[in-house]
Amino acid sequence: MTLVICQHDLVRRVIRPERRAVTQGVPSSILGSRAKLRLRSTFHFFVAASIPKAHVTLITPSSHFFYNIASPRILAKPNVFRPEQYLINIPKLFAHHDSNAFHFVEGLAATIDQDNRVVRLVGRKEIPYDYLIIASGSTTQSTEGVDSDIVPWKARQNGQTLECVMESQKKIATAREIIICGAGPVGVEFAGELADVLRKDKKERRITLISATDRVLTQVNERVGCHAMTVLNRLGVEVSRGSRVISASHDTASARWIIKLDDGTVMSSDCYISTTGPVPNNKFVPDHFLDDQGWVKVDAHLVPVYAIGDIVAHQPRTVRAISEQLPVLLATLEADSQGTSSDRRLNLTYSPSPKLPS
């Protein structure tokens, strides 16, 4: 039996922060946590324990997994991590597993041919499968440089994440004014990390965080949001509240961004970074698998299309949600491969919790 997994999800399972780089909803600089990454392989859990006969093929555009949840700190504080701490070699990580059980393919899935059970990659290579698991996750506008300076909150689709991280670090370190759009966990954490750097460096620079609502961190309870706001103010971050960005355009002549808000305010800066919501990586996924927002439609058993992680229509899109989805997907796959779906599916289901824990 061949399982083909489009993406990194297995790898993320084997990477555990010793202390979390990012705590849900609160800037890590505010908590003072220090991220130390420790690797632990739980691949055997998937293959050996759950589906012993499976041959797993992992398709992904880069040989290196990007530990993106630490990206606010990686980008604001270039000296805190070495690249090998946040870009982890995937084949090496799986090297001690039987080559009959695991196969790594560096490539980008272009189409799924359901009739012939084949995934076609860019460049036309074909990978056959018995079961296909879609775990292609999400990207962000700024990762792809859409209406924002390019800032890789997620892995780059062209596989050039390290180059992009280094360029962004340089841009951020030399900008005099930085406007951050979006006061969710990423925007708040990044503003906190940046302000922490500037406080220590005593540089004359300006950081503005734009929140569309009158609070920050609306995803968590109000007390946490208020605390984050107090700390941001103390660190010297200007928070613009209650108006949303309606346009952001880059003027090449002056090399400045012009940002317009819906209350008529116009701002300008030499660096503008969007941290707004996830965009599904779904170009290779047939339309009938997707909901009207472009996410893969699944039920509580993570079928009819096997899918896991950010790409599924459930919210929230977090690593924690993936940990909760994984046993469900494994049980579904195991049951389907043994022809016992109806019994097993009654037992284990995934129910998303709409709010982030705080």
Element (H, E) at 2: strand 2-6
Choose one: 69-77, 126-134, 242-250, 336-344; the region binding ligand FAD (CB under 6 A).
Answer: 69-77
Q: How far apart are CA 57 and CA 240, in angstroms?
A: 47
Q: How far apart are CA 99 and CA 106, in angstroms?
A: 16
Q: Which of 138, 142, 83 is nearest to 271 (CA)?
A: 142
Strand, coil or helix: 49:
helix
Tell whether the torsion through CA atoms of 70, 73, 74 and 76 is positive or negative.
positive
Strand, coil or helix: 212:
coil
For residue 112, which amino acid is it?
A: I
The site for ligand FAD, by CB under 6 A, has a size of 35
- Burial pattern 187-204, b for ≥16 Cβ within 10 A else e, equals bbbbbbbbbbbbeeeeee
The yes or no reply on residue 301 touching ligand FAD (CB under 6 A) is: no
Give the residue, chosen from 4, 5, 7, 306, that forms a contact with ligand FAD under the rule CB under 6 A.
7
Give the residue, chosen from 16, 34, 96, 320, that forms a contact with ligand FAD under the rule CB under 6 A.
320
Q: Which of positions 234-273 make contact with ligand FAD (CB under 6 A)?
A: none
Beta 126-128 vs 118-121: how paired, if at all?
antiparallel
Q: Which of positions 148-187 make contact with ligand FAD (CB under 6 A)?
A: 153-155, 157, 186
Cβ closest to ligand FAD, residue 287 vs residue 343: 287
Give the residue, chosen from 72, 152, 192, 225, that forms a contact with ligand FAD under the rule CB under 6 A.
72
Phi first, then psi, for residue 126 (nearest 5°) are -115, 135
Nearest approach in angstroms of CB 335 to ligand FAD is: 22
Choose one: 38-46, 132-140, 208-216, 296-304; the region binding ligand FAD (CB under 6 A).
Answer: 132-140
Cβ closest to ligand FAD, residue 257 vs residue 284: 284
Give the residue, chosen from 68, 211, 269, 325, that forms a contact with ligand FAD under the rule CB under 6 A.
68
Give the residue, chosen from 54, 109, 164, 207, that forms a contact with ligand FAD under the rule CB under 6 A.
109
Cβ closest to ligand FAD, residue 12 vs residue 55: 12
Q: Which residues pair with 251 in a beta bridge?
A: 256
Choose one: 3-11, 44-52, 144-152, 256-264; the region binding ligand FAD (CB under 6 A).
Answer: 3-11
Give the residue, chosen from 4, 14, 69, 261, that forms a contact with ligand FAD under the rule CB under 6 A.
69
CA angle 321/324/325 to nearest 5° reads 85
Residues engaged in binding ligand FAD (CB under 6 A): 6-9, 12, 22, 24, 59-61, 68-69, 71-72, 108-109, 135-138, 140, 153-155, 157, 186, 281, 284, 309-310, 317-320, 322
